[in-house]
């Protein structure tokens, strides 16, 4: 096989959902946007539904269609981008629930699909999506009699527990929603970890389901093994890869593995990243290229047919730190060329 193997542990994903669910008295949904953070939206949604999830959150109506196909008519599927122009037929036909984030979206939905489910997204200070306090105040008396399925907002700094923005947004959300009968939702993974005050009626874990921070106790979900295409001997002073950025300081053995930045292995992580040969650290030699990576295996005694990039010895968050990024980007950048293997 000439492509890397991406192993997705669905049992670990389910365990992460159950662990986050146990942290609150709220109903726990699941965020499965961006192909379930690169893990495969259909397989992930089915496993999470088996674990008890009944509310799913996607970024776009097209993702909602994938969930509906995978799970059938029962789950509630919320569309975070709301009711966009051109989405009316899909929302209506598939029973999707748009989270309306503006007065324009509200009017579009009420005119095109009257008496169909919807939710409301409020802006409590992130200034990304949602109705601001003044807009909400202007339409609140019109919206609430229509029985929104959910009223939500999103925390900007939940991964920093001591950040003052958390308390500010909590206060704003409470002020904007106190007294309403509709279920309320403020907490994604980070918000769940902030504690009971942030939980309200529905939580929306995302990144924590897939084994990454800020859920420090998450079980790892994704593993990547990269097959060795070729091994060569390199003499002291010879270079490896584009730009001659790696020069052998000793006689070395170099393995070239199949995968590169076209597969979501970011170039920026190269100088700081190791792979593993049967548990032995083997550093990247030179630049990560589009389809291949050179690795210094000189110190490895037993050379397997593939080297571990993600797995027991190295986490998503380690790779993210090496690239100056976050686990979200690593997971959602995983390319289509991997041979996917599901376990659990």
**208 backbone dihedrals φ, ψ, rounded to 5°:** -65, -30
Name the catalytic one among 33, 78, 210, 261: 33
CA 247, CA 344: separation in Å to the nearest integer?
Answer: 43
Q: Which residues contact 64 (CB under 8 A, 6 or more apart)?
A: 58, 77, 79, 90, 91, 94, 96
Name the catalytic one among 37, 55, 198, 242: 242
CA 31, CA 119: separation in Å to the nearest integer?
Answer: 16
**CA distances from residue 153 to 98, 123, 164, 322 in whole angstroms, order as listed:** 14, 6, 17, 31
List the Cα angle 14/17/22 in 5-degree steps.
Answer: 130
301 is catalytic: no
Token digits for 76? 């509630």
Residues annotated as catalytic (active site), given as ranges: 33, 242
């Amino acid at each position: 096989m000439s492509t890397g193997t991406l192993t997705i542990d669905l049992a670990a994903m389910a365990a992460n959902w159950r662990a986050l669910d146990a942290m609150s008295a709220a109903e726990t949904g699941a965020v499965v946007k961006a192909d379930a953070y690169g893990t495969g939206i259909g397989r992930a949604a089915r496993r999470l539904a088996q674990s008890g999830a009944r509310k799913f959150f996607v970024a776009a109506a097209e993702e909602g269609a994938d969930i509906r196909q995978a799970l059938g008519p029962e789950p509630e599927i919320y569309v975070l981008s709301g009711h966009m122009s051109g989405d009316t037929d899909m929302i209506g036909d598939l029973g999707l629930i748009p989270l309306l984030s503006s007065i324009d979206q509200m009017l579009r939905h009420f005119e095109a699909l009257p008496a169909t489910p919807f939710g409301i997204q409020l802006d409590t200070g992130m200034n990304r999506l949602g109705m601001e306090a003044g807009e909400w105040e202007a339409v609140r008396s019109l919206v609430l009699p229509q029985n929104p399925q959910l009223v939500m907002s999103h925390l900007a700094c939940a991964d920093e527990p001591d950040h003052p923005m958390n308390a500010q947004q909590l206060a704003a959300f409470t002020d904007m929603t106190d007294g309403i009968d509709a279920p309320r939702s403020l907490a994604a993974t980070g918000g769940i970890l902030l504690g009971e005050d942030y939980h309200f009626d529905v939580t929306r874990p995302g990144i924590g389901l897939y084994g990454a921070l800020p859920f420090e106790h998450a079980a790892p979900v994704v593993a990547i093994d990269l097959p060795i295409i070729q091994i060569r001997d390199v003499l002291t002073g010879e270079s490896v890869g584009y730009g001659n950025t790696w020069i052998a300081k000793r006689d070395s053995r170099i393995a070239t593995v199949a995968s590169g930045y076209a597969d979501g292995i970011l170039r920026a992580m190269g100088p700081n990243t190791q792979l593993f040969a049967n548990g032995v650290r083997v550093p990247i030699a030179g630049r990560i290229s589009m389809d291949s990576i050179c690795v210094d295996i000189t110190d490895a005694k037993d050379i397997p047919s593939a080297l571990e990039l993600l797995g027991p010895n190295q986490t998503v968050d380690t790779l993210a730190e090496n690239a100056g990024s976050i686990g979200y980007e690593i997971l959602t950048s995983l390319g289509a060329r991997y041979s996917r293997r599901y376990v659990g």
